[in-house]
């Protein structure tokens, strides 16, 4: 008579079931993390391309504006024209850098969905204790 291997029962079966559930949960969360990582990568590339295009166009516009203003103001006071434009461009640059800093400090946090799901999981495991 051949004996069949006994399947784990009782405590060990429950333990294996719990481990399997935790691993499935971890896999789901990891998949969510990879999806959000892909979304952030696409978003970052899109933003960088738009920033580069905007910077190129802005530089062309500023170059044209600067040449025109210097040409117009040259007979009156060339030094005042250069100083005025320098202050205008420096102030605009400072304003933009302050806005970028504010956005980096207070903007949307990446992977918020994944972190929220991890927090829900943590709360579920706490209730079970």
| In a domain? residue 3 | no
Runs of H (alpha helix) within the chain: 11-73, 78-106, 112-127
Gap between the Cα atoms of 89 and 8, Å rounded: 75
Name the 3-class secondary structure at 128: coil
The size of the chain, in residues, is: 129
Decide if 91 is inside a domain: yes
Cβ 52 vs Cβ 46: under 8 Å: no
Give 62's contacts (C-beta < 8 A, 6+ positions apart): 89
Answer whether residue 2 is part of any domain.
no
Question: Quick check: is 94 in a domain?
Answer: yes
What is the mean pLDDT of the segment spanning 77-95?
Answer: 91
In angstroms, the first-to-last Cα distance of the chain is: 45
Would you say residue 16 lies in a domain? yes
pLDDT (tens digit per residue) in 47-80: 999 999 999 998 999 899 899 989 998 999 989 9
Asked if residue 107 is part of any domain, the answer here is: yes
Identify whether 1 is part of a domain.
no
Question: What total of structural domains would you count in the chain?
Answer: 1
On whether the CB atoms of residues 114 and 37 are closer than 8 A, the answer is no
Rounded to the nearest 10°, the torsion over CA 73, 79, 83, 89 is 50
pLDDT tens digits, one per residue of 3-61: 555 555 788 888 888 888 888 888 888 888 888 889 989 989 999 999 999 999 989 99
Backbone angles phi, psi at 5, to 5 degrees: -65, 140
Domain that holds residue 31: 11-127
């Amino acid at each position: 008579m051949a004996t069949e291997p006994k399947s784990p029962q009782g405590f060990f079966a429950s333990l294996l079931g719990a481990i399997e559930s935790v691993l499935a949960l971890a896999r789901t969360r990891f998949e969510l993390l990879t999806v959000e990582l892909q979304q952030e990568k696409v978003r970052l590339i899109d933003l960088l391309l738009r920033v580069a295009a905007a910077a190129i166009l802005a530089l062309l516009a500023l170059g044209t504006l600067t040449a025109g203003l210097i040409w117009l103001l040259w007979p009156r006071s060339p030094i005042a024209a250069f100083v005025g434009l320098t202050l205008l461009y420096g102030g605009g640059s400072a304003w933009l850098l302050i806005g970028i800093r504010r956005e980096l400090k207070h903007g949307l946090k990446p992977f918020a969905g994944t972190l929220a799901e991890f927090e829900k999981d943590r709360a579920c495991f706490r209730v079970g204790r």
